[in-house]
Amino acid sequence: MPDFLTRVVDPGGGGAGGGLDGGIDSGVDGGVDGGWCDNLPDLEALAAANVSSVTALCTGLVCLNTLGNTVLHQQCVSACLEQNISGLSSECAVCYAGVAGCALDALCYGVCQFNTCGLQCLNCLSFAGCLIEFEACRGIPGTVCDGPPDIPITDNQ
């Protein structure tokens, strides 16, 4: 299970009724690992949205007051993404919130704040292992950025 998922969803397991994850505790507690966005409804929702812009709105403006607390920030980002990307599942939104939290923990927020697809941001996220966790969670290879730069996604932890 990607490390950031265990930080986002019910930290103690909690059960289907407790916490942000809307019942995906089975994934945290030994169920299927990742692939939360690799299904037709989520793929259609993501294709119809400007994911980078919505993510920037959620991480930089809507959830700005939660930057001091990674878990609260991830919860806020996940809820914001669900509200602003029609048809996006809570499970898939957790993946995007997870990479935002990973960016905070890895001290990448500053270089990613205004350009999440910039070379400095992608290098920082890749070096910290955030992108490999993001891919595993989503079940979709690559970043949400279009075209170059082509950053090798590595797990340097």
Domain assignment present for residue 33? The answer is yes
Domain assignment present for residue 148? The answer is no
pLDDT at residue number 28: 35
Q: Which residue has the higher pLDDT, 15 or 67?
A: 67
pLDDT at residue number 146: 62
pLDDT tens, 136-149?
999 998 877 765 44
Domain assignment present for residue 147? The answer is no
145 SS3 class = coil
Q: CB-side exposure of 137: number of CA atoms within 13 Å?
A: 30
pTM, whole model, 2 decimals? 0.74
Mean pLDDT of the chain: 78
Q: How many domains does the chain have?
A: 1
pLDDT tens, 101-139?
999 999 999 998 878 888 999 999 999 999 999 999 999
Block residue for tokens 């259609």: 44
Domain range for 109: 3-138
Domain assignment present for residue 39? The answer is yes
pLDDT at residue number 141: 87
- Does residue 12 carry a pLDDT above 60? no
Domain assignment present for residue 104? The answer is yes
Domain assignment present for residue 22? The answer is yes
Q: SS3 sequence, 78-134?
A: HHHHHHHCCCCCHHHHHHHHHHHHHHHHCCCHHHHCCCCCCHHHHHHHHHCCHHHHH
- Confidence class of residue 157 from pLDDT cuts 50, 70 and 90? very low
Domain assignment present for residue 149? The answer is no
Domain assignment present for residue 156? The answer is no
